[in-house]
Amino acid sequence: MMRQCLAIMQRELVYMWRDKSLRNILLVGPLLGLLLFAGVYSYQRIENISTAIVDFDNSSASRQVITDLKNSQNLQVLAYFDSFSQLEEAIKRGEVLVGVVIPENYGKNIALHRQTKIAVFIDGMNMAYATNASSAVLTVTRTLGAQVGIQTLIAKGIQANQAQEAYQSIAFPEEAWFNPTVNYAYFLVLAFALNVWQQCCTLASCMTIIGENGRRSWYQIRTSGISLFKLFICKSVVHIGILLLIVLPVYFLAFVVFKFPLACGWPSFLLFTLIFILALHGLGTMMSSLSPNAVNASRYGMIVALPSFLLSGFTWPLQAMPQWLQHVVWAFPQTWFFQGVSFLTFKNPGWGFMSHYLLALGLRAVLFYSVAGLRLMVSDFPLKR
């Protein structure tokens, strides 16, 4: 029996190696994805956001505003315009992303302790730029507001230190946990690479059963008396082992070379990955058993794999999705995987928490393999084209 199993495994390895397109996809796809995404997010944060200023006041107070904007880490003042229409046209053409308009009599109103406004316009076409620009401008305006408030109190005869204490009597210190520098690379690169990997895994898994359809060697196996379950169990062991092996270089580059955070230990992370592979391979095997041919099996698999990352709640929070959709997306193993990856890389909440994720993935693996097994029992394999 063991000799038969080893022969089947060896045969499957040979078939997978001879399939050049599948081999290249599995070996190159995830690594290439990681390197490309690491290059895209190599700056890690969005800085030097192009900014233009329209100063209708030209006072010392307005020049102080411009100086504060220039000193902002995330803003880069590139242009000065004489009119609002020039600023509007520059934003439309994409030459600048942020426009600041300082009104007339700004300095006079500040000196007289009158309320005044500085208009800020942000190009909202790119949400990443818009969010970072809003945060950068808000930081500058907070500082300006505090300075003006303190100066107002001083003008009323209050001592400088007392004015500062009175205006800043309530402090709201901000502290980002788990990703203190708000590094885009830490958050996105590994997840994007794993998304490529899970799509490659889905393609391979969808060939587990239907891939035998029409092979000459299938008839030799059938005449040898090997059971269908033994055949596909041995094939699955090979697939699962290969899918785990091809993700190891991705993890090595991410955690060892690029120094991405990994809050949990390697054994825990690899165990979690293995359980996900079982669920994902089970899903692909089920698709394979339900498909009339290899082309449709791949199509069915990719219909699930392609949108699964977007639906997993990794980039767009699940809580911001419609209530009915939140329940639907938890049916996919990818949702449990990417949510779990986020917890394990940044937080490591412990196995008391993660056991829920492992159980969910394990149950899905059992369900998917069971459906595939029932399909084999009631169908006459190989399927007719």
Most confident of 103-107, 122-126, 250-254: 250-254
CB 285 within 8 A of CB 201: no
Per-residue pLDDT tens over the stretch 157-178: 676 676 666 666 556 677 778 8
State the sign of the Cα–Cα–Cα–Cα dihedral 347, 349, 351, 356: negative
Which residues are CB-contacts of 278 (< 8 A; sequence separation ≥ 6)? Answer: 240, 361, 362, 365
**Across 32-47, average pLDDT:** 84
Residue 384's pLDDT band (cuts 50, 70, 90)? very low
Which residues are CB-contacts of 221 (< 8 A; sequence separation ≥ 6)? Answer: 8, 231
**Across 363-382, average pLDDT:** 84
| 201 token code pair | 């895994």
Ranges in the chain annotated CATH 3.40.1710.10: 49-167
Maximum Cα interatomic distance, the chain, rounded to a whole number of Å: 102
Between CA 257 and CA 260 the distance in angstroms is 8
Most confident of 52-56, 106-110, 161-165, 232-236: 52-56
The residue that leads in pLDDT, 22 or 32, is 32
Q: Tell me which DSSP letter residue 280 carries.
A: H
| 34 token code pair | 């990681």
Q: Is the pLDDT of residue 115 over 70?
A: yes
The residue that leads in pLDDT, 13 or 309, is 309
Q: What was the pLDDT predicted at 385?
A: 42
Q: Which position has the token pair 């081999």? A: 23
CATH topology of domain 49-167: abc type-2 transporter like fold (3.40.1710)
**Across 330-338, average pLDDT:** 96
Residue 296's pLDDT band (cuts 50, 70, 90)? confident
Residue 29's pLDDT band (cuts 50, 70, 90)? confident
Q: What was the pLDDT predicted at 178?
A: 84
State the sign of the Cα–Cα–Cα–Cα dihedral 192, 196, 202, 205: negative
